[in-house]
């Protein structure tokens, strides 16, 4: 064939877009761009799938459910005439089952998807570094006019003297333990710490929690108090509102020194579990050289369009200063890809639901009272304990509370939180109410099925104006 008739082959190192990171955000951005006909270099390094499927959401929730099964058997005695018991008989088998699930989902939802997208080229040839005009991957220069950074995050190491000398675990290594420990001290009472501490306590481990302020400090105080009471009832030792300044080793065990209400205490356990936050994976990316701004935590600062301070370079997911949830990472990455292709969409988290998979589960949407007041609203609230919810009474499980926040001037809902067994499934109803600007009156007049947890939202809305304890079933 003559050279004049030969169709040029695409440059194997030139793409329309380069995406750094092969987790949920990276895949979301790549699939979005490939679906629009763009050639994408998806640059991974290490295990494909990112935090959620490998060491985060999937393995933790699988083990949390297993722990709930143990607790459920023991809690059967709350019904007259019933009793039950369960325990961990084979920790290795339980962990093997978790690993098999992780491996299966990683293969089906990540690796096996790539062949279905002709526009995506997966590259795993070394660590990536931003350079003018593209990305350097090992010895290979990937040229792309648009780049999306989606490298995720990792557990942070708190700056406590002696921390490197004691036996510690983080959320990743805890979920990979080969043997079940006898005792653990959890440092940090946020989402991750709360979930994993209760899980391990239900597995039969002696658990102590240490919180600088309170359990779930991001949530409403009523929720924090209710969950703290539950934890104590399940045998978890709670130390809230404390300071800690050092730790040391006692043989093979860890010792954490704390000060609580003027008293100095030493807490000893097999391991100190560090759940005090996460750090963005930005090392070696060359951010400062490219003029990309980061915040005090080291996270990449992005605008509402998900673009960094360097034009043409975007970021999404846990590596940014945005919401640290896997579904928001995927959402932000999709926006980043669309905007990199000429779009003008803005990140919107006003009706973003969030869930903490404790038991009772804690789920919320919108503004807390503190946030609403800071935003200038004249706030009104309603608080409903679960002993007012027929579903909870029938289940003989009234652990939890529902709190709604509204604008006193317009009656429009501003936010809410529900702490209830399976309460997470009710969060989306509240999210829809906020998304479409419902008032508390409208929510209270909406028809809900009887003997459901979500009916509690209707009752909480009615609590703004009446005493629901004085209503008959389904009345109001």
Q: CA 50, 51, 56 angle in degrees (round to 5)? A: 150
**Which stretches of 289-386 are assigned E, i.e. beta strand?**
313-315, 353-356, 361-366, 379-385
Sheet holding 168-169, edge to edge: 168-169, 271-274, 183-187, 206-211, 237-240
Per the annotation, does 117 bind a ligand? Answer: no
Say if residue 61 carries a ligand binding annotation: yes
The answer to whether the annotation marks 22 as part of a ligand binding site is no
Question: Which own/partner pairs from 5-13 qualify as long-range (CB within 8 Å, at least 24 positions apart)?
Answer: 10/39, 11/143, 13/140, 13/141, 13/142, 13/143
194 marked ligand binding residue: yes
Query: SS3 of 121, please?
Result: strand
193 labeled binding residue: yes
Give the dihedral sign, CA 173/175/180/185. Answer: positive
Residue 188 labeled ligand binder = yes
Q: Is 222 annotated as a binding residue?
A: no
Beta strands 206-211 and 183-187, pairing class:
parallel
Please indicate if the annotation marks 260 as binding a ligand: no
For residue 277, say whether it is annotated as part of any ligand binding site.
yes
Measured CA to CA, the distance from residue 50 to residue 280 in angstroms comes to 13
DSSP string, 156-169: -----TTGGGS-EE
262 is in an annotated binding site: no
345 labeled part of a ligand binding site = no
Contacts of 283 (CB under 8 A, 6+ apart): none
d(CA 346, CA 309) in angstroms, rounded, equals 16
Going by the annotation, the residues of the binding site for FAD are 61, 318
In the annotated binding site, the residues are 61, 188-195, 277, 318
Binding site residue list for NAD(+): 188-195, 277
């Amino acid at each position: 064939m003559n050279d004049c008739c030969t169709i040029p082959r695409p440059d194997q190192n030139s793409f329309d877009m380069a995406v750094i990171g092969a987790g949920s955000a990276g895949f979301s951005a790549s699939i979005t761009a490939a679906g629009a006909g763009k050639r994408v270099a998806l640059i991974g390094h290490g295990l494909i799938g990112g935090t959620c499927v490998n060491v985060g959401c999937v393995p933790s929730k699988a083990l949390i459910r297993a722990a709930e099964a143990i607790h459920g058997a023991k809690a059967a005695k709350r019904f007259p005439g019933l009793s039950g018991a369960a325990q961990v008989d084979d920790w290795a088998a339980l962990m093997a089952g978790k690993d098999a699930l992780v491996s299966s989902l990683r293969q089906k939802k990540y690796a096996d998807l790539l062949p279905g997208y002709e526009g995506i080229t997966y590259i795993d040839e070394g660590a990536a570094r931003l350079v003018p005009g593209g990305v350097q991957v090992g010895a290979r220069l990937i040229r792309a006019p648009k780049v999306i950074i989606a490298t995720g995050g990792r557990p942070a190491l708190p700056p406590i003297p002696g921390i490197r000398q004691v036996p510690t675990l983080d959320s990743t290594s805890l979920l990979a333990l080969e043997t079940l420990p006898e005792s653990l001290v959890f440092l940090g009472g946020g989402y991750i710490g709360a979930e994993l501490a209760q899980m391990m306590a239900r597995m039969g481990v002696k658990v102590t929690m240490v919180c600088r302020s309170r359990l779930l400090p991001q949530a409403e105080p009523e929720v924090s108090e209710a969950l703290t009471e539950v934890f104590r009832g399940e045998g978890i030792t709670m130390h809230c509102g404390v300071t800690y300044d050092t730790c040391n080793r006692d043989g093979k065990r860890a010792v954490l020194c704390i000060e609580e209400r003027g008293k100095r205490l030493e807490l000893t356990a097999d391991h100190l579990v560090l759940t005090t936050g996460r750090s963005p994976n930005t090392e070696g990316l060359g951010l400062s050289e490219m003029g990309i701004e980061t915040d005090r935590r080291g996270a990449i600062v992005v605008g509402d369009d998900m673009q960094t301070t360097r034009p043409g370079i975007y970021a999404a997911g846990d590596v940014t200063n945005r919401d640290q949830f896997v579904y928001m990472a995927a959402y932000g990455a999709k926006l980043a890809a669309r905007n990199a292709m000429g779009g003008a969409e803005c990140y919107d988290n006003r009706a973003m639901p969030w869930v903490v998979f404790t038991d009772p589960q804690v789920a919320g949407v919108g503004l807390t009272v503190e946030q609403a007041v800071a935003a200038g609203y004249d706030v009104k609230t309603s608080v409903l304990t679960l002993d007012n919810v027929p579903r909870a009474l029938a289940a003989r499980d009234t652990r939890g509370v529902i709190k709604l926040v509204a604008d006193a001037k317009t009656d429009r809902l501003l936010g809410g939180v529900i702490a209830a067994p399976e309460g997470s499934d009710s969060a989306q109803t509240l999210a829809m109410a906020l998304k479409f600007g419902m008032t508390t009156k409208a929510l209270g007049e909406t028809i809900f099925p009887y003997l459901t947890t979500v009916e509690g939202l209707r009752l909480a809305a009615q609590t703004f104006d009446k005493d629901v304890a004085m209503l008959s079933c389904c009345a109001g």
